[in-house]
């Protein structure tokens, strides 16, 4: 006979007492029933004990998970690695989203975060047959417009990544540049130098002009959304009136291709990058000839993005992202780099805190602009030694000299006679 627990014995006694007060069953039957119920109760208690032990282990695991360290907060979001270099790059106008279009024709939308491990891909689209050259979000952020070497314009839904509209054979040559004017109008430029203006509510282009002899590298718009400025591979700055759908003028040709264009100094100056590593400046309403030029120690200026009214960042084939002040013209320092690989495109986030860059190393990188946005460059120009390295403007940039401590030069600083003035040619 198995040994009974104290609880089982008590239960047996209770059953015996209950049996004594009522009709008395046969002794053998009463004892067998009690023993059977005792065994069943003992098994049930064992199951309860196992369940409680498992519950305690679960609670311990939950507490351990709760006590796990929070994801580390970074100064910038983590790099995104693609399978191919990205030509196009654009930030969402309100949300922490970054879109990229690569040379394989794929379009990606990423949600970025400074919390480690939380930057992730939301969706991708492979509707383009050839390289995606440029892309842009609509003003309300609900649509993403892309253009490609396959001569097509695609409009995608940002939430789902669904292709909502396709304009095939929008140009007779590969489309290289895109600019959204408003919620309905967009401008495109192709490899032959042709500019087309589109109204999404209508069939076909509402303006079709060809004045450039080479590809359209980049476009910019004045605040009134009247004049469209184009940077051409023929070295000319083009001006088009999109209100009246007519051509205005071409500037004189510069040395090398004009690769990028943007407005600076509250719209009073137009800055153009070039394949020769020079930034050309034009006065507003003085587009025929340059008012100033600024040669950088860079192989090229392939892309530019304004950070403030005075400061812009440039990307070059040497892989370095430079911060440049306009009037006075200075190379302020290095924001970052793509390890010797060409920088393809730059974009500034909606909050102005992050600069994103794409390079031939297949990476999308983020750079913190908080300190750079507060930089003030004096008219006084400090002399420096020839061949001096660029100052690093972020913890991720090469050369960790203390740059911000020396930005505001003291007037009593006396340059050494052996040093030469080379700030404008940096």
pLDDT in tens, the chain (426 residues): 444 455 544 544 455 455 444 444 444 445 454 445 555 545 554 554 555 545 545 555 555 455 667 888 999 999 999 999 999 999 999 999 999 999 999 999 999 999 999 999 999 999 999 999 999 999 999 999 999 999 999 999 999 999 999 999 999 999 999 999 999 999 999 999 999 999 999 999 999 999 999 999 999 999 999 999 999 999 999 999 999 999 999 999 999 999 999 999 999 999 999 999 999 999 999 999 999 999 998 999 999 999 999 999 999 999 999 999 999 999 999 999 998 899 999 999 999 999 999 999 999 999 999 889 888 887 665 555 555 677 777 767 765 343 333 344 333 333 333 333 333 433
**Taking each helix axis from N to C terminus, what angle separates 27-66 and 6-21, rounded to the nearest 10 degrees?**
140
Between CA 174 and CA 314 the distance in angstroms is 25
pLDDT recorded at residue 109: 98
pLDDT recorded at residue 397: 74
Token pair 């009974």: residue? 4
SS3 breakdown of the chain: % helix, strand, coil, rounded to 5? 15, 40, 45
DSSP states of 179-207 as a string? EE-SSSEEEEEETTSEEEEEETTSSSEEE
- Give me the sheet containing 278-283, strands edge to edge: 258-264, 269-274, 278-283, 292-295
Residues 6 or more apart whose Cβ sits within 8 Å of residue 373? 307, 308, 311, 352
Q: Residue 53 belongs to what H/E stretch?
A: helix 27-66
pLDDT recorded at residue 25: 45
Among candidate residues 291, 302, 286, the one with its CA nearest the CA of residue 338? 302
pLDDT recorded at residue 399: 52
Q: What's the predicted TM-score (pTM) here?
A: 0.77
Largest CA distance in the chain: 124
Residues 6 or more apart whose Cβ sits within 8 Å of residue 422? 384, 386
Among candidate residues 95, 202, 90, 201, the one with its CA nearest the CA of residue 147? 90
CA R_g for the chain: 34
Task: Tell me how far CA of residue 203 lies from CA of 80, 142, 207, in angstroms.
Answer: 38, 22, 12
pLDDT recorded at residue 43: 56
User: Which of helix, strand or coil describes residue 3?
Assistant: coil
């Amino acid at each position: 006979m198995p040994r009974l627990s104290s609880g089982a014995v008590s239960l047996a006694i209770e059953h015996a007492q209950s049996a004594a007060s009522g009709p008395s069953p046969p002794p053998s039957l009463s004892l067998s029933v009690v023993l059977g119920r005792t065994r069943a109760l003992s098994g049930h208690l064992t199951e309860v004990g196992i369940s409680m032990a498992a519950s305690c282990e679960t609670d311990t695991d939950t507490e351990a998970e709760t006590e796990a360290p929070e994801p580390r907060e970074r100064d910038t979001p983590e790099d995104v690695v693609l399978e191919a270099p990205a030509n196009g790059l654009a930030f969402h106008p309100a949300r922490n989203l970054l879109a990229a279009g690569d040379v394989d024709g794929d379009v990606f939308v990423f949600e970025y975060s400074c919390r480690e491990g939380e930057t992730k891909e939301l969706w991708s689209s492979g509707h383009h047959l050839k390289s995606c050259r440029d892309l842009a979000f609509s003003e309300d952020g609900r649509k993403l417009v892309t253009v490609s070497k396959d001569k097509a314009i695609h409009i995608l839904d940002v939430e789902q990544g669904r292709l909502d509209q396709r304009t095939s054979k929008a140009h007779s040559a590969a489309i290289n540049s895109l600019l959204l004017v408003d919620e309905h109008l967009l401008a495109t430029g192709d490899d032959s130098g042709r500019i087309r203006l589109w109204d999404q509510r209508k069939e076909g282009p509402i303006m079709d002009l060809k004045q450039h002899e080479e590809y359209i590298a980049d476009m910019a718009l004045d605040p009134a959304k009247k004049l469209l400025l184009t940077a051409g591979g023929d070295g000319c700055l083009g001006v088009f009136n999109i209100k009246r759908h007519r051509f205005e003028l071409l500037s004189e040709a510069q040395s090398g291709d004009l690769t990028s264009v943007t407005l600076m100094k509250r719209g009073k100056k137009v800055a153009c990058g070039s394949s020769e590593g020079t930034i050309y400046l034009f006065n507003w309403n003085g587009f025929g000839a340059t008012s100033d030029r600024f040669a950088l120690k860079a192989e090229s200026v392939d892309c530019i993005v304004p950070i403030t009214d005075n400061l812009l960042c440039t990307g070059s084939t040497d892989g370095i992202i430079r911060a440049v002040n306009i009037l006075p013209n200075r190379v302020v320092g290095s924001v970052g780099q793509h390890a010797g690989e060409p920088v393809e495109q730059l974009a500034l986030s909606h909050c102005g805190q992050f600069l994103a860059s794409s390079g031939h190393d297949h990476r999308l990188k983020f750079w913190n602009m908080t300190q750079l946005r507060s930089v003030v460059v004096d008219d006084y120009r400090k002399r420096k030694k020839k061949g001096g390295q660029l100052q690093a403007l972020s913890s991720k940039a090469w050369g960790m000299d203390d740059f911000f401590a020396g930005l505001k030069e003291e007037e009593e600083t006396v340059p050494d006679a052996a040093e030469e003035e080379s700030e404008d040619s940096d």
